[in-house]
Structure 1
């Protein structure tokens, strides 16, 4: 509470107004547009993560990213884990694609 008095004194605001501002910020209304935007963003983020997990496997990033967008990231992750083994060399290191000369 002492901190709020100090902040209010610096801003020359009464403590009650500072508390009201904090309370109004905490009670932010989640509109359907905001939730929809957040869900689309999370869907794309998880699709990108599935694509990154596919790097070094047969199919690669782009195939599994598109698969995650078309299906769902969870289904494409299951397909990634079950259907495509990681391509490794003799030492067990992931094989990176070589540039063609």
Structure 2
């Protein structure tokens, strides 16, 4: 399988990435590293690609789907970091989800 994991450097995403890599699958992680950490992911694994970016970036999300052509998507990107800036968290959680779902639909995932 070719699996795109948004929020892939977070607690859930990094654990899933590790398990899928151990099973021999290819994994592409998209993370902005606002709360996730690069060190949570395996180092120099041939089946792992990591892209620093945001799910709110529609152009980036579309490009990753087109280039990586995932067979599966796990959308675990979420923002909850700043109770004083609900707008930014809302953009990640709603706008970002819309971009991922629409790109998955176009890609037939």
Decide: shared fold, TM above 0.5. no
TM-score where L is the length of structure 2: 0.21
Structure with greater helix percent: 1
Structure with greater strand percent: 2
Greater relative contact order (CA < 8 Å, ≥ 6 in sequence): 2
Structure whose alpha-carbon radius of gyration is higher: 1
TM-score where L is the length of structure 1: 0.22
